[in-house]
Amino acid sequence: MSATTIVSLPDQATAQMPKRSYLNNEHGLLSWLLTADHKRIGMLYLLSITFFFFIGGAFAGLIRLELLTPQPDLVASDTYNKFFTMHGIVMIFLFLVPSVPATLGNFLLPIMIGAKDLAFPKINLLSWYLYMAGGIFTLASLVLGGVDTGWTFTTPLSTHYLNTHVLTTATAIFIAGFSSIFTGLNFIVTIHRMRAPGMTWFRMPLFCWSQYAASLLMVLGTPVLAIAIVLLALERLFGIGVFDPAKGGDPLLFQHLFWFYSHPAVYIMILPGMGVISEVISTFTRKRVFGYTAVAFSSVAIALFGFFVWAHHMFIMGVSNYSALVFSLLTMLVAVPSAIKIFNWAFTMQKGSITFETPMLYAFGFIGLFTIGGLTGIFLGSLGMDVHLTETYFVVAHFHFVMVGGMLMAFLAGIHFWWPKLTGRMYPESLSKLAAVVTFIGFNLTFLPQFVVGYLGMPRRYHAYPAEYQVLNVLSTAGATILGVGYMLPILYLGWSLKYGAIAGNNPWQATGLEWQIQSPPLTENFLETPIITHEAYDYEWLEEKMKLEKQEVTHVG
């Protein structure tokens, strides 16, 4: 193990940005808004999901501010309900679901498998427009006065009792859902049909496998959410009796439909992040991912098992004891492939030459925090424990450990890892390491106290609480403030690096992926000639040979 770095930047005295790249191929706003280039669409997504991340973050800040004191002194209770609803909806549907797939996936998937673009470039652009339309409807419901159903739209609250903007928001989710379906479809077809010669399934980087598994979930799960939302809208608008018991409906049916999507959806959110972690860990330990095949199949297994556990969100909702028991047992199943990944990453690092670059710091954060998130999921999946813990802050802490400690760390790992490829520039090293550390500290200070306060009995979704919970809540709000700073930093220095960052060159990390063998930033057509793949993923010996040959050529010419 060594603390040295493997960054190999070109000599900065002579370094040059490539003359032609996807960034300067065409000019003007319209050339971006009408582009069919997967790389430009990835960048459009990056801008838009970052925007929505900060909208969602603002609501998180307001929630934490209200919870600083036990008294309900900042806003009225129904305003508070609108805050956590908007926070959840924006973060889940407009940030986490598209996050890695729509940005890094869009940009990298075709390059990683040696293709010129996705299978359906124009549908890819359509996906972005649908996403933006969903975003605009969400903002509209906010400006019109907000919505207070919670992100789960639970009936009969959403259909009968609330007079806020449920339909506007439901429309937003419905539209954004189609964006996700089309992205998934595009990825699946691309992986099946567009791989370069020699790029067999088991030579694909694990990032592609995880995108593939997440895409299956997007295509198979999201329509169920769409149907649930349409039924909800019909019931709210016309009073048809799907969920209303007075008319022969069943309110639990809504929860079954909702969670049939929303449990798999948590894997739509986390699987692409796991793909990022595999790439980062391999590169910064300079080893092939241990148990490549097991890690690849574990993604598909997570996608499959993810469909069998939805009712663990409904243990106390009046489902029969027998079905609760079955779902409790099945829930244990879904932890197995997650654990397979964790163990294999650990074995990859064992005896590797680890370097502690910024993406690797985030990857370490991911592994530790995701493990805590996953293990507390097992607690919650155990029937007896769940009755005590459900609807408390323990659940809030659980899912923030997986989604923020896990997915957001993976997203940031990926953004730093591929930033040189996306932009051709490096980010400032020490500042980025500082941000990673600040994020880690802020995260733990925010969410560890929530496990405790939840276990002690503080329910979620209330704007006032008994005074004995205040110390833990103050800690949590302090942590959120630090976390906020941790997220602002990358915005500032990544923006700065666009102009002033060191020129990155093709392969600053000496990584093996195809994307690192082409120029940074890439050409619009990615490859000048179709690559032919003759080696496995993560073959560092192949890379060494290749670099030796290239050096010889350079000295020969010179």
Query: How far apart are the C-alpha atoms of 243 and 159, rounded to whole Å?
Result: 9
d(CA 517, CA 506): 6
392 phi, psi to nearest 5 deg: -110, 175
Cβ-contact 410, 276 below 8 angstroms? yes
The token duo for 128 is 């972005």
Is residue 165 at the binding interface for Cu ion, with CB under 5 A as the rule?
no
Task: Give the per-residue contact string, 228-267, with ligand HEM (x = CB under 6 A; - = no).
Answer: --------------------------------------x-
Closest distance to Cu ion from the beta carbon of 312 (Å): 5
Q: Which of 364, 307, 354 is nearest to 330 (CA)?
A: 307
Instruction: With contacts defined by CB under 6 A, name the span among 126-134, 200-208, 349-357, 397-405 that binds ligand HEM.
Output: 397-405
**Is cis: bond before 359, omega within 30 of 0?**
no
Q: Give me 223's structure tokens.
A: 């329509």
Residue nearest to ligand HEM (CB): 377
**Rounded CA gap, 480 and 108, in Å?**
32
Q: How many residues bind Cu ion (CB under 5 A)?
A: 1
Q: Tokens representing 132?
A: 């933006």
Check residue 219 for interaction with ligand HEM (CB under 6 A): no
Evaluate the CA torsion angle 100, 102, 103, 104 in order and state its sign.
positive
Minimum CB distance to Cu ion, residue 146 (Å)? 27
Say if residues 178 and 126 touch (Cβ distance below 8 Å). no
Note whether 414 binds ligand HEM by CB under 6 A: no
Q: How many CA atoms lie within 13 A of 458 on its CB side?
A: 26
Site string for Cu ion, 455-484 (x = CB under 5 A): ------------------------------
Binding positions for ligand HEM, 473-532, rule CB under 6 A: none
In a 10 Å sphere around its CB, with 0-12 CB exposed, 13-18 middle and 19+ buried, how is residue 6 labelled? middle
Task: Spell 229-248 as b/e; 16+ CB within 10 A means b.
Answer: bebbbebbeeeeebbbeeee
Min dist. Cβ of residue 451 to Cu ion (A): 18
Our CB check for ligand HEM shows the closer of 361 and 395 to be 395
Residue nearest to Cu ion (CB): 263
Comparing CB distances to ligand HEM, the nearer of 366 and 538 is: 366
User: Hey, what are 408's tokens?
Assistant: 């957001």
At closest approach, how far in Å is the CB of 400 from ligand HEM? 8
- 378 in contact with ligand HEM (CB under 6 A): yes
Q: How far is the CB of 200 from ligand HEM (least distance, A)?
A: 29
Which CB atom, from 262 or from 519, has the smaller least distance to Cu ion? 262
Q: Which of 67, 214, 407, 412 binds ligand HEM (CB under 6 A)?
A: 407
Residue/partner pairs of 465-468 with CB below 8 Å, 24 or more apart: 465/67, 465/70, 466/70, 467/70
Distance of closest approach, residue 277 Cβ to ligand HEM, in angstroms: 13
Q: How near is the Cβ of 263 to Cu ion at its closest, in Å?
A: 4
82 binds ligand HEM (CB under 6 A): no
Nearer to Cu ion, 338 or 507 (CB): 338
Are 533 and 197 in contact, with CB atoms under 8 Å apart?
A: yes
The nearer residue to Cu ion, 63 or 265, going by C-beta atoms, is: 265
Calculate the CA dihedral of residues 375, 381, 386, 389 and round it to 10 degrees.
30
- The interface region with ligand HEM, picked from 103-111, 380-388, 484-492, 515-523 by CB under 6 A, is 380-388
Q: Residue 489 Cβ, how far from ligand HEM at the closest point, in Å?
A: 24
Q: Scanning residues 119 to 158, which ones bind ligand HEM (CB under 6 A)?
A: 152
Is the Cβ of residue 263 or residue 425 nearer to Cu ion in the bound state? 263
**For ligand HEM, the closer CB: 142 or 269:** 269
Q: How many residues bind ligand HEM (CB under 6 A)?
A: 23
Q: Which is nearer to ligand HEM, 377 or 522 (CB)?
A: 377
Dist. CA 189–CA 195, nearest whole Å = 10
Burial class from Cβ neighbours inside 10 Å (0-12, 13-18, 19+) for residue 554 reads exposed
Please, what is the minimum distance in Å from the beta carbon of residue 478 to ligand HEM?
Answer: 24
Q: Which of 261, 259, 260, 241 is nearest to 251 (CA)?
A: 241
Region 242-301 residues binding Cu ion, contact defined as CB under 5 A: 263
Helix and strand counts by DSSP (H, E) for the chain:
18, 0
Contacted by 472, from Cu ion, ligand HEM, none: CB < 5 to 8 Å by type: none
State both tokens at 502: 């060191």
CB count, 10 Å around CB of 2?
9
Answer for which of 380, 472, 511, 514 binds ligand HEM (CB under 6 A) is 380
Choice between 114 and 374, CB closer to ligand HEM: 374
Of these, 41, 112, 218, 334, which contacts ligand HEM (CB under 6 A)? 334
Of 194, 335, 474, 478, which lies in the binding site for ligand HEM, with binding defined by CB under 6 A?
335
104 contact partners, CB below 8 Å, separation of at least 6: 42, 272, 276, 414, 415, 418
Told to check if 386 binds ligand HEM by CB under 6 A, we report: yes
Q: Which residue's CB is nearer to Cu ion, number 172 or number 270?
A: 270
When asked if residue 195 is in the footprint of Cu ion (CB under 5 A), the reply is no
Residues that bind ligand HEM (CB under 6 A): 152, 266, 269-270, 312-313, 331, 334-335, 338, 374, 377-378, 380-381, 386, 390, 395, 398-399, 402-403, 407
Residues that bind Cu ion (CB under 5 A): 263
